[in-house]
Structure 1
Amino acid sequence: MFWGGLRLEKELPALVTDYRPERIDGASYRLRVGPEVYVSPTGEPDDPRNKPKTQLKEGQGFTVPAGQFGFILTEEKIIVPTSAIAFISIRARYKFQGLVNVSGFHVDPNYEGRLIFSVFNAGPGPVHLSRGEDCFLIFYADLDQPKQVSKKEGFDSIPSRLTGPIAGGLQSFASLLSKINENDKKLTDRVNAVEREQAVLKWATALAIGALVTVGLRECSFTRPQADQSKAGISTPASPTPTPRAP
């Protein structure tokens, strides 16, 4: 059976660090963004959002871009008794922005420590969060036949074995669109460059042809007067003058 608000008020002071009764939300308790986060690279080399694990100061913000994963360490350390099991989720207001919990939905009995939420932004735009923001929920429920299990240590930081598989960047729709636009711009620039080169070549060809025509006409103009002069120097024989007869 799930714990109700009154049961949470009674049990959680011993199970959750920095407990505040105003964070009880119906049959759940709100957990906050903690001191460390990691967001997968966007695939764009100069994107300022591409960072390693980030240590957050109180109130410091960060962004989970569209199509990217994030690991978020909780502010609170929790304890799950051996007689209970816990379930975790994201508050609805963040789900409506596209943030999805992909880290699993339960916490085993006898767990103690901080939680790591693995989230994926399935929305069309970035989701902005900050340290201390209470965006997660935890529910407790009783087990009908508890069994003694070994203690499960929680997290104090985000381990590299979690971040390694996504450190190379994920090809989200946004990053693919960015690459398509980048390649389209490169292709357009190349086409424009080729067109400019062709225009220069056409002008150079036209100038060369014009120069050849000009030289040809000039040669013709020089040759024609000489030919005319040569023709003028050839004299025609005079016709014989008739001799007058004597009377």
Structure 2
Amino acid sequence: MRRIQVQDRAISERLLDEEPSRRIVITPLVNPKEQIGPSSVDVRLGGSFRIPATSHLGAIDPEDEDAIGSYTTAVEIGHRQDFYLHPGEFVLAATLEYVRVPRDLACRIEGRSSWGRLGLLVHATAGFVDPGFSGNLTFELFNAGRLPMKLKPGMRMAQLCFFELDDVPYVAYDQRPESKYDKSLSAEGSRIWRDKRL
């Protein structure tokens, strides 16, 4: 199967597509000329964070819903406030934009080169966005640098790359009853306890 990455012209057309099932939704898209690159769309940092709290846990048990639920604390900051991410620190944060991926596309969230050169990683492992997903995406931010980073809501943090599928999936993400993060509107902590054992 050939994977084709969608380019700027096709992204722009899909953002305005009259057929709702084909439309890519990224809102608010404040400045399309600045945010749409040759084959990606820049997304920004929102004000929703989840900060890990390690003092009360000796270890993470992925099957313990209460422990996983208490692993992070939700924090909201205003658009004029700063968030300091210290060296070696990991936090979850939401995109400012609400995103909907049509069922005939898949998406990847990738770091921007300028942030990478400062040591900021935008996802630990979860860079894939399934066909049919809608909601605010959650960044997995990690400061691999040696100095604290001052982050502000509205900063361009990552880019979305879209890929054409050879066909629409039998069951897209928004159609699966076990989808854990669809329709998320803030930074979401792990729901790994909902995974079924195989």
Q: TM-score, normalised by structure 2?
A: 0.71
User: Percent of pairs identical after alignment?
Assistant: 24
User: Which residue of the partner structure matches residue 38 of structure 2?
Assistant: 26
Work out which of the two has the higher radius of gyration on C-alpha atoms and give 1 or 2: 1
User: Which residue of the partner structure matches residue 198 of structure 1?
Assistant: none
User: Which residue of the partner structure matches residue 129 of structure 2?
Assistant: 107
User: Which residue of the partner structure matches residue 14 of structure 2?
Assistant: 11
SS for the counterpart of 2:15 is: helix
Q: Which residue among 119, 124, 138 is the counterpart of 2:141?
A: 119
Aligned length: 155
1:76 aligns with 2:87: no
Q: C-alpha displacement at 1:67, in angstroms?
A: 0.4
Q: Which residue among 98, 103, 107 is the counterpart of 2:119?
A: 98
Structure 2 runs not aligned, ≥5 long: 17-22, 56-71, 192-198
SS for the counterpart of 2:11 is: helix
8 Å CA contact 1:65, 1:127 repeated in 2: yes
8 Å CA contact 1:59, 1:132 repeated in 2: no
Q: Which residue among 153, 160, 173 is the counterpart of 1:131?
A: 153
User: Which of 64-73 and 143-152 deviates more?
Assistant: 143-152
Question: Which one-letter code corresponds to 1:73 in the other structure?
Answer: A
Cα gap change, 1:160/1:88 in structure 2, threshold over 3 Å: closer, same or farther? closer
Q: Which has the higher contact order (CA 8 A, sep 6+)?
A: 2
User: Which residue of the partner structure matches residue 89 of structure 1?
Assistant: 110
8 Å CA contact 1:82, 1:148 repeated in 2: no
1:154 aligns with 2:154: no
Q: C-alpha displacement at 1:12, in angstroms?
A: 2.3
User: Which residue of the partner structure matches residue 68 of structure 2?
Assistant: none
8 Å CA contact 2:137, 2:187 repeated in 1: no
Cα gap change, 1:11/1:33 in structure 2, threshold over 3 Å: closer, same or farther? same
8 Å CA contact 2:44, 2:97 repeated in 1: yes
8 Å CA contact 1:39, 1:64 repeated in 2: no
Structure 1 or 2: larger helix share? 1
Cα gap change, 1:28/1:36 in structure 2, threshold over 3 Å: closer, same or farther? same
Structure 1 runs not aligned, ≥5 long: 44-50, 163-247
User: Which of 95-104 and 73-82 deviates more?
Assistant: 95-104
Q: C-alpha displacement at 1:54, in angstroms?
A: 2.1
Query: Partners of 2:124 and 2:104 in 1: how far apart?
Result: 26
Structure 1 or 2: larger strand share? 2
Q: TM-score, normalised by structure 1?
A: 0.57
Q: C-alpha displacement at 1:82, in angstroms?
A: 1.1
Provide the alpha-carbon RMSD of the alignment: 2.2
8 Å CA contact 2:98, 2:185 repeated in 1: no
Cα gap change, 1:62/1:26 in structure 2, threshold over 3 Å: closer, same or farther? same
Query: Partners of 1:42 and 1:131 in 2: how far apart?
Result: 25
Cα gap change, 1:122/1:105 in structure 2, threshold over 3 Å: closer, same or farther? same
8 Å CA contact 2:92, 2:189 repeated in 1: no
Q: C-alpha displacement at 1:84, in angstroms?
A: 0.7
